[in-house]
Amino acid sequence: MSESSNEIRVRFAPSPTGHLHVGGARTALFNWLYARKTGGTFILRIEDTDAGRSTSESYEGILRGMKWLGLDWDEGPDVGGEFGPYIQSARGVLYHTDASRMIDEGKAYYCFCDPDELSAKREEARKNKLDQKYDGTCRGLSVEDVEERLAAGQPHVIRFRMPDEGEIRFRDIVRGDFTFANSDLDDFVIIKSDGNPTYNFAVVVDDARMKISHVIRGDDHISNTPRQAHLYQALGFRLPKFVHLPMILGEDRTRLSKRHGATSIDFYKDSRYLPVAMINYLALLGWSLDGKREYFERKSLIEKFSLKKVSKNPAVFDLARMEHMNAEHFKKMSLPAKTVVVYREMEANGLIPPEFRVDTEMPVDLKLVPGTEPVENSVGVEGWRKGRFDQKEFARLAWIINTFGNRLKLLKDIPEMLRYFYTDEFEKDENAFHTFLSEPGSRKNMSILADELEKLQYFDSSTIEETLRALADRLGLDAGELIHPCRVALCGQKVSPDIFQVIFLLGKSKSVERLRAVVEAP
Ligand code: GLU
């Protein structure tokens, strides 16, 4: 199989009956990766033939989820294309044309059986452990009989006429050859009584007419494939290549469902996961480069992806691994790129602009942040280039992020962790306050420390450190006896990153103010 032909056309064909979930997104991703890898075309087709269950909210949600993941499509309902419309409810004529052709050729027939009677017959067969297939009552109706019933407006469906003998074969790229005996299949419905096509019929008409080369989808559709293969044959279309992706399981090894926690992509979007981490993780659900490497950027995924490496074995969705992947991606982002996403998150939480601005004299400059690559060279900092961010706040935030290092893992937790740099409304741990600041002596020390800090001309972290240590010596204390209460006074907590950096980044006036405030604290 060549993986570089221009003829490659793949599609993601969701039914808009719910959220875009992990399984659907994985299917979309594998199609997208294959198209991008081969220079092929990725198509989005909406399968809304189940009118009762399809909703516009679900449609919007699916598009929103795909856009968030960065899975762009070349043809689809909103962008158009040569083979549209790309919403099944707008393609009725096409299905009816093909169904009529099949009737004319004797490959399908009208069926007027009463649905209640049919289910009673099925129930009876089930009880007697007999075959529950359609019994073929309408197979042999004469043309006149059919015409009469149609003219009388009798409700009907259209059924495929399954050959009595023989078998049907198809090949799956992942799972190999399949053969099904026709005697195991029945005269299934292709057009329902409401005039809508069934899934099996619409999918074949559309895939064939949209010239889909590879049908890549979840393996829950394998059992549909023999019927679809029959339809391709009956309509005189060439079979596409089939690629059935392995099932996704929850951690208890049962099929992934809501019981296992969040499966909707919106949840991960709202929880501020990085789309690239999500893509990376989803790619590993059924694909692996060499069984070892797990970390991929978007570009390297496209480069390395191959259908040949898709596994037959079920994949397990493990939230802890997903979180780990997210943290890995965050860790590997350049500081300026990280600062851009955190800046937006802080803004969204009302923390930028801060209650108190960066001191004008605070020497924060992106060039001075330890280990920062020049912002101009970083990826993902378009907002910076366009001057969307306050330069000084940006530099200070970058420095804060740098000071926190790998403690920052999940974007959604970051605003809370950085809160005390931006507002006086932050959580104060009473326990920590009690441990370190209940004694009048330690409160007094904080006000002496405030006086010393206020006098400083150069308010950088090393001068701050020297000052604090010299003061501890003078007072006959361990440095820790000043550092711990100082941390609680400034951050409200027992833990923080390097306290001298914290004092510097909080700024002189805020630090002095908070140290003095503890003297009066209740
Ligand atoms: N609408 C079907 C689904 O959501 C598509 C199946 C297919 O890709 O053929 O499961």
Atom of ligand 1 at shortest range from CA of 218: 8
CB of 47 shorter than 6 A to ligand 1: yes
- The pick from 203, 207, 213, 220 for probing ligand 1's pocket by mutation, whose C-beta has the most ligand atoms within 8 angstroms, reads 203
pLDDT value at position 282? Answer: 98
pLDDT of 372 above 90 = no
**Atom 10 of ligand 1: nearest residue by CA position:** 14
Q: Which residues contact 72 (CB under 8 A, 6 or more apart)?
A: 32, 42, 66
Ligand 1 centroid – CA 47 distance (Å): 7
For the Cβ of 203 lying below 6 angstroms from any atom of ligand 1, the answer is yes
pLDDT of residue 2: 42
| Residues labelled as active-site residues | 258
Residue 519's pLDDT band (cuts 50, 70, 90): confident
pLDDT class of 1 with cuts at 50, 70, 90: very low
Please determine, for residue 27, whether its predicted confidence score (pLDDT) is greater than 50: yes
Question: What percent of the chain lies above the pLDDT cut of 70?
Answer: 93
Instruction: Give residue 436 CA to ligand 1 midpoint distance, Å.
Output: 61
Confidence at residue 369, expressed as pLDDT on a 0 to 100 scale: 72
| Residue whose CB lies within 8 A of the most ligand 1 atoms, among 199, 212, 227, for a mutation test | 199
Mean pLDDT of 140-167: 97
Confidence (pLDDT) at 361: 62
Instruction: For residue range 206-246, list pLDDT tens digits in order.
Output: 999 999 999 999 999 999 999 999 999 999 999 999 999 99
d(CA 330, CA 328): 5
pLDDT of residue 360: 58
How far does residue 216's CA lie from ligand 1's centre (Å)? Answer: 10
Q: Going by CA atoms, what residue is nearest to atom 6 of ligand 1? A: 13
Does the Cβ of 48 fall within 6 Å of ligand 1? no
How does pLDDT run across 281-292, given as a tens digit for each residue? 999 999 999 999
Mean pLDDT value across the chain: 93
465 C-beta closer than 6 A to ligand 1: no
Distance 503 CA to ligand 1 centre (A): 57
70 CA to middle of ligand 1, Å?
21
The pLDDT assigned to 20 comes to 96
pTM of the model: 0.88
For tokens 């914290």, name the residue: 502
Q: Ligand 1 centroid vs 497 CA: distance in angstroms? A: 50
Confidence class for position 4, pLDDT limits 50, 70, 90:
very low
Q: Long-range contact list for 169-172, CB < 8 A, 24+ apart? A: 169/229, 170/225, 170/226, 170/229, 170/239, 170/242, 171/241, 171/242, 172/222, 172/225, 172/242, 172/243, 172/244
The answer to whether the CB of 516 is under 6 A from ligand 1 is no
By most ligand atoms within 8 Å of CB, the mutation choice from 221, 231, 241, 255 for ligand 1 is 221
- Residues 431-482: pLDDT tens digits? 999 999 999 999 999 999 999 999 999 999 999 999 999 999 999 999 999 9
Q: How far apart are CA 62 and CA 66, in angstroms?
A: 6
All domains of the chain in start order, with CATH: 9-88+248-320 (3.40.50.620), 91-245 (3.40.50.620), 333-421 (no CATH), 430-520 (1.10.10.350)
pLDDT at 5 over 60: no
Mean pLDDT (whole number) for 51-57: 93
> 1: closest CA among 172, 247, 257?
172
Question: Does residue 14's CB lie within 6 angstroms of at least one atom of ligand 1?
Answer: yes
The predicted pLDDT at position 370 comes to: 67
The Cα–Cα gap between 36 and 501 comes to 45
Is it the case that residue 186 has pLDDT exceeding 90? yes
Residue 379 has pLDDT above 70, yes or no: no
pLDDT given at position 310: 97
Q: Please give the pLDDT value at position 381.
A: 67
